[in-house]
A and B are shown apart, each in its own frame.
Chain A
Amino acid sequence: MKQLTHFLQGFGSAVQLLLQSARFIGTLPRQRARFIDQCYLIGYTTLPIVAILCFFMGSVLALQSGYSMENFGAKQFIGSLVGLSFARELGPVIVAILVAGRVGSAITAELASMKVYQEVDALVTMNIPPARILVLPRLAAVLVMMPVLAIIGNLIGWFGGAVVCKYVESIAIEPEAYFSALRRYMKFQDVGTGLIKAEIFGFVVVLICCSIGLNTRGGPREIGASVTKAVVVSLISILVLDYFVTKALM
């Protein structure tokens, strides 16, 4: 019962924070500098990890599918398998998980420390709503940067698969054949579905991390506890949402 109450409280405060932030959308043009800072943090600093992880995920996917599809004589379809898997599922999920781990944890740590050291209270006494300057620029930035990260992740993942197909002897498929299969069985809608998922996951992750950070109470120990909680809740939310969003978009 206590767990359910905590869950409902957390959900309620996240929704409340979203509504409060939405009230200040009109202030976004004035907050250009904060928005650009957040785009840099969410997009640019996450990009190298997205690139490395997506390259190797694409490689492993091509390697595993090459190994199993060889038994059916269907090696020529590896390109479409890697392409579709990345565009519809792996790309958005991997990028969201990385954003939760790297950006979400940093957001929670920063906001929780601001809360614990009374910086958030100082904002309230200055009649500057924390939702306006601490949450809104982050939510706007994640909406802009998630599709960019997901597209780059997809491209690098597809490229990783092509490299493995060309250089692993047991597969030995030329890039032209790999990308031709990828193009033939993929529609623009597949990529679009993935981008919508990435947007939803990223937005939810940042909202959860902001909400948990701003609701931190206590001292430095609670900052660590909030970061752990934010990452765990974000990861669970990504995977639970993944099912429902996929179902809804089918």
Chain B
Amino acid sequence: MNPPIHRNPITAVESPAVGVTIDGLTKNFGPFQALKNVSFAVEPGEIFVLMGPSGSGKSVLLKHIVGLEAATAGRVLINDQDAAAAHTLERIRIALVFQAGALFNSLSVYDNLALYPREHRFGDEATIRDKVMRALQILSLENSAQKFPSELSGGMRKRVAIARALVMEPQLMLYDEPTSELDPVMSATISEIIATLKDEYHVTTIVVSHDRELALGIADRVGILMGGELVFLGPPASLRQPADPRIADFFHPRIDLKNPRFKNLET
């Protein structure tokens, strides 16, 4: 079967969507093993949500995909090219939306978005302006172009980060906790944006999140990491009544207020 066609949200140019293969990935930080022989594949054009408790290795895995961390063992392949190789970022456009946005504080929203096309010389200033304004428009940020990141709310910062990623015309979008620290309305908005980008443009998407609603709402498939191991891989529907007690505890935590751990809550 042919891979779905990725349509660029900014230029509308079409190209095959990319797939990602994680093959026996292991990462040690000193004696601590953050990832233990993790293997799975993300199909071209799908939304894959990677979940797990804090410290389970989700963000570390994401950093391996974009080449920010080097694996202790195993490898990450993007369209059969090693993600750790320097040329991969030159051949495949990968955008990572960081948890806190990682916007450049000294640049305005417009310049944050324009940095990538300017540095890679994607046309003259007028072309770049069109691209940037189109991305701002998709995220309903046209009126914030001249603002600085310090003047934006948490939700707007996330949207600017997504807009900056869109300007890169990515074939692979990675989101690190896109709905953390946001109110429910803004979380739903961000989830909708992620789903819309996938539905309309077939951008292969990997989302790292704690957010159950987001996973069940937008994911094509879900992976769950616990203690650096992949303990679940499958469609989100099978998470509604999980058989594995560890996953059931993660999705439907039972908090016993009589437990001595919570004695301070009772008083």
Chain A positions within 8 Å of B, measured between CB atoms, are: 114, 117-119, 121-122, 124-128, 133
Residues of B contacting A124 with CB < 8 Å? Answer: 66-68
Given contacts A118-B100, A119-B104, contact A125 B115 (CB under 8 A): no
Among A119, A121, A126, the most chain B Cβ lie within 10 Å of the Cβ of: A126
**B residues 64-107 with Cβ under 8 Å of A?**
66-68, 89-90, 94-96, 98, 100, 102-105
Query: Chain A contacts of B120 at CB under 8 A?
Result: 127-128
Contact B90 A125 (CB under 8 A): no
Can you list 11 A-B pairs, Cβ within 8 angstroms, ordered by A? A117-B100, A118-B100, A119-B102, A121-B68, A122-B102, A125-B67, A125-B94, A126-B168, A127-B90, A128-B119, A133-B119
A-B contact count (CB 8 A): 44
Contacts of B95 in A (CB 8 A): 125-126
- Selected from A118, A128, A133, the residue in CB contact (under 8 A) with B102 is A118
Q: Are A117 and B102 in contact (CB under 8 A)?
A: yes
Tell whether B116 is near chain A: CB-to-CB under 8 Å. Answer: yes
| A126 x B68 contact (CB < 8 A) | no
Determine the main DSSP class of B at the interface with A: loop
Could you say which residues of chain A place their CB within 8 Å of the CB of B103? 119, 122
Of chain A, the residue at the smallest CB distance from B168 is A126
Other-chain residue from B96, B104, B119 in contact with A125 (beta carbon distance below 8 A): B96
Q: Which chain A residue lies CB-closest to B94?
A: A125
Partner of A121, one of B89, B94, B98, B168: B98
Q: B178-201: which residues lie under 8 A (CB-CB) from chain A?
A: none
Q: Which residues of A contact B67 (CB under 8 A)?
A: 124-125
Question: In the complex, what residues of B have CB within 8 A of residue A127's CB?
Answer: 89-90, 120
Closest to B121 in A: A30
Q: Is the CB of A128 within 8 A of B115?
A: yes
* A35→B231 CA distance, assembly (Å): 51
A45 to chain B, nearest CB (A): 16
Which residues of B are found within 8 Å of A125, using beta-carbon distances?
66-68, 89, 94-96
**Interface pair A126/B100, CB less than 8 Å apart:** no
| Chain A neighbourhood of B100, CB < 8 A | 117-118
When C-beta atoms are compared, the residue in chain B nearest to A31 turns out to be B119
Bound-state Cα–Cα, A117 to B100, Å: 8
Q: Given contacts A124-B66, A126-B119, list 12 more A-B pairs with CB under 8 A.
A: A118-B102, A119-B102, A119-B103, A121-B96, A121-B98, A122-B98, A122-B103, A125-B66, A125-B95, A126-B116, A128-B115, A128-B116
